[in-house]
Amino acid sequence: MAHYISDVNITRVLRTVWLNRGLSRIDISRRLDLNKSTVSKIVGYLEELSLVEPAAVGDAGPAGGRRPIHLQIKADWGCVMGVEIQTEAFTVVGINLHGDVFFSHTEPLDLRTHDLVDSFVDIVHRFRPSLERTGMPVIGIGVGLPGFVDPVRGVLKASMPFEQYTEVNFVAGAQEQLDLSAPILVDNDANCGCWGELAFKHSTRPENFLFVLGELRKHTIEMDDYRIMALGMGLVLNGKVHHGTGHSAGEFRSILYRAGTVNQFSISDIEARRFLQDSQVDEMIIDELARHIAFLINALNLGKVVIGGPMEVLADELIAAIREHTQQNWAYPTMVDCQIGVSRLGEQAVAYGAAGMFLEHLIRVPSVQVDGELQTPCGVQLLPRRGTDLPV
């Protein structure tokens, strides 16, 4: 039983500085509708924790007055490891609290022959020293996996790419072997793409957007291995990453899908495997995909679409097709207002987003729930349980 508002306002201040680097105490007090003395006290506390520091002294306004002290998060307070694990490779990145990537590594890894949790434990053991050589401790790890993930329980519920149809207790299993104080967070890979867009888009956080993630995956068709594109979607709705009632949101299969094929469209697998090699196939896939994305843009009134993965090669055509179909699919005379672009992070989008997800959870305002407890995925907690050490 401990529900002091303090935690809430401390986090509000911290998060506000994080999202808007360079604000002064007065700016914060105005934004958050808190008294400036309250902000002063909270900032003092955060400075004591080395989470916030003065960045620069600004200029006085035209009418004079004391010069404001711009504040910022201490970037090197700690770092976050972001990991993406796919069927044939994994990626690790290290970022500081400002979101700067200071480490990045990609390597092949065959998940068909290796255990998922064991592989992850290996990765952490191998790369934690690399990150901590900077002097920053690893304060948390974010992981992006293909499949249905329950981030609150830290569980991989199912995954077609991993051929996993029973639950894997990912976080608990890893923590057992790792003996690591840093908490671990997991989410679906496409959702991690969303987290990456959310975490550091400070001023212009998109409220409703779609992250389209394509991966080329091996499939065995008639005794031969082929690569077929598998599409996953990550959705942010009302500013929040959407998981759905059973954590399976983001699955894609065309409305015109015909039973029996491995690919997600209305074409045959024979056609599908010629993707990126046969421009006619490319065109068909682009058109069909663009229609579905356009439908979602209009039905959900999305403000933004980001394309990641191998689709990036055909991004120009895809973007044009989406634009065309959104407008065709729109009944009103106005123009549909939706930015469509390609992920700037390329290969690292998911791993980076996974790390961003961790920071998003760390530096967040605990929401007051009405019924039941507030759900924190896997005990992420920033502020120390405050006892006697509170600065008045």
Binding residues vs DNA (CB under 7 A) = 1-6, 8-10, 24-27, 33-38, 40-44, 59-69, 386, 390
Give how many residues touch a second copy by CB under 8 A: 68
* Smallest distance, DNA to C-beta of residue 100, A: 25
* Smallest distance, DNA to C-beta of residue 344, A: 33
The angle subtended at Cα 35 by Cα 29 and Cα 37, nearest 5°, is 100
* Of 73, 384, 348, residue with least CA distance to 189: 348
* Of 253, 219, 216, 257, residue with least CA distance to 233: 253
- Quickly list DSSP for 314-332: GHHHHHHHHHHHHHHT--S
State which of residues 101, 300, 315, 382 lies at the interface with a second copy (CB under 8 A).
300
* Of 137, 149, 237, 132, residue with least CA distance to 189: 149
The listed partner (a second copy, DNA, none) that binds 365, CB under 5 to 8 Å by sort, is a second copy
State which of residues 125, 253, 268, 375 lies at the interface with a second copy (CB under 8 A).
253
State which of residues 47, 122, 132, 251 lies at the interface with a second copy (CB under 8 A).
251
State which of residues 62, 299, 391, 392 lies at the interface with a second copy (CB under 8 A).
299
* Smallest distance, a second copy to C-beta of residue 103, A: 29
Strand partners, 214: 231
The listed partner (a second copy, DNA, none) that binds 37, CB under 5 to 8 Å by sort, is DNA
For the chain, the straight-line distance linking the first and the last C-alpha, in angstroms and rounded, comes to 22
* Smallest distance, a second copy to C-beta of residue 303, A: 4
Tokens of 259: 């039973």
Beta strands in the chain, from DSSP E residues, in sequence order: 52-57, 69-73, 79-85, 89-96, 101-108, 138-145, 148-150, 155-158, 184-188, 209-221, 224-237, 240-241, 304-308, 339-342
Tokens of 109: 């890894």
- Is residue 266 close enough to count as binding a second copy by CB under 8 A? no
SS3 content of the chain, % helix, strand, coil (to 5): 35, 25, 40
Nearer to a second copy, 203 or 277 (CB): 203
Nearer to a second copy, 282 or 324 (CB): 324
Which residues contact a second copy by CB under 8 A?
1, 3, 5, 8-9, 12, 15-16, 19-20, 31-35, 158, 160, 165, 207-208, 233, 235, 237-238, 240, 242-253, 255-257, 259, 264, 291-292, 294-296, 298-303, 328-334, 337, 365, 367-368, 370-373
